Structure 1
Amino acid sequence: MRKGILDRFEGEYAVIEFNGQTEDILKAKLPTDVKIGDTLLFNDNEISIDTADTKNREKEIQELMDELFED
């Protein structure tokens, strides 16, 4: 199983980051409710959203931003 993060969309492709390297994957192969920043799990021919990891990453990013922009 591989884990990647959806970086952006470019036309009909999604750019997924895997350990610092990016790959283009057809958007049609991804879950319909996927959004930029989601963590994706690639298991054989199945692609799913890792909602727990996505939420943890969002929380960590928000905490870092809060530290940066403290009053």
Structure 2
Amino acid sequence: MHKGIIDRFEGEYAVVEFEGQTEDILKSILPKEAKSGDTLIFKDNEILIDKNDSKKRKEDIQQLMDDLFED
């Protein structure tokens, strides 16, 4: 099992970051609801969205942005 984070989508590919390296993966093999910023779990022949980690990362990023743009 390994994890990657969707950085962005480019055409029919998702650019997924694995430990600082990126890899292009066909969108068609990802879960339909996958979006930028989601953490993916690659286990056996299955790709799942780690919803807990995705939510935590989104909250952490929002907190950083709030801290950065605080008046």
Q: Please name the residue that 1:54 is paired with.
A: 54
Q: Is structure 2 residue 50 aligned with structure 1 residue 27?
A: no
Q: After the TM superposition, which parts of structure 1 deviate over 2 Å for at least 4 consecutive aligned residues?
A: none
Deviation per residue, 1:21-71 (Å, 9 max, x gap):
000111110000101110000002100000000000011111111111111
Mind listing any 5+ residue stretches in structure 2 that lack a counterpart?
none
**Which amino acid in structure 2 is aligned with residue 45 of structure 1?**
N
Number of corresponding residues: 71
Q: Please name the residue that 1:4 is paired with.
A: 4
Mind listing any 5+ residue stretches in structure 1 that lack a counterpart?
none
Q: Please name the residue that 1:40 is paired with.
A: 40
Q: Shift of the alpha carbon at 1:10?
A: 1.2
Q: TM-score, normalised by structure 2?
A: 0.96
Q: TM-score, normalised by structure 1?
A: 0.96
**SS at 1:24 equivalent:** strand
